[in-house]
Amino acid sequence: MICAALCVCAPVSGQATLPTIDVKAIAEVEVTTSQDGHDVVVLAPADRVVPGDAVIYTLEIRNRGAADIVRPVISRAVPAHMVYVADSATGPGAEVTYSVDGGVTFGHPEGLRVMSSEGRSRRAVASDYTHIRWNLRMTLKSKSVAYARFRAVVK
């Protein structure tokens, strides 16, 4: 399966209809603010970012259908102007895999390979990742929400 910006793959228990999952991506940056005389770090919308800024992407995965979805799979492209931050993809109860070929195939970091500029195969690094996939190991109940997150840095 080739994924563009976002793919959702999910078998629906007991139904032949397409899953009704909505995925909303929220981009935020960490900012330091003062509260009660103490500096605290909070998340704010990533309205304007410049090269070197770290952006936190939160995916809100919502099952708006009437049926539970068993083990949904969510894929997301790393934005073209960003570089994925190693080991930052998380999701409760999710197995996270990565793609280095535009979302055609996925694997764990230790098994991913790319061609070097010299034409030799080398182990992929986080900056080579084009897509992230979350294989949720749970059932996403009807009308419920799950969250996944990753960080990327503006090129």
Q: Please write the tens of the pLDDT for every residue from 34-74.
A: 999 999 999 999 999 999 999 999 999 999 999 999 999 99
Whether residue 131 lies inside any domain: the answer is: yes
Give the total number of structural domains in the chain. 1
| The amino acid at 80 | A
Whether residue 142 lies inside any domain: the answer is: yes
CATH of the domain at 85: 2.60.40
Whether residue 75 lies inside any domain: the answer is: yes
Cβ neighbors of 54 (< 8 A, separation 6 or more) are: 29, 30, 85, 151, 152, 153
Whether residue 31 lies inside any domain: the answer is: yes
pLDDT, tens only, 76-127: 999 999 999 999 999 988 999 999 999 999 999 999 999 988 899 999 999 9
Whether residue 67 lies inside any domain: the answer is: yes
pLDDT, tens only, 4-30: 345 555 544 444 456 689 999 999 999
**CA 28 to mean position of chain CA atoms:** 14
Range of the domain at 136: 6-154
Distance CA 91, CA 71 (A): 13
Structure tokens at 104: 């055609």
Distance CA 93, CA 127 (A): 25
pTM of the predicted model, to two decimals?
A: 0.84
Cβ neighbors of 64 (< 8 A, separation 6 or more) are: 20, 21, 22, 143
| SS3 call for 68 | coil
Sign, CA torsion 130/111/23/94: negative
Whether residue 41 lies inside any domain: the answer is: yes
Whether residue 72 lies inside any domain: the answer is: yes
Whether residue 1 lies inside any domain: the answer is: no
Structure tokens at 69: 């979805």
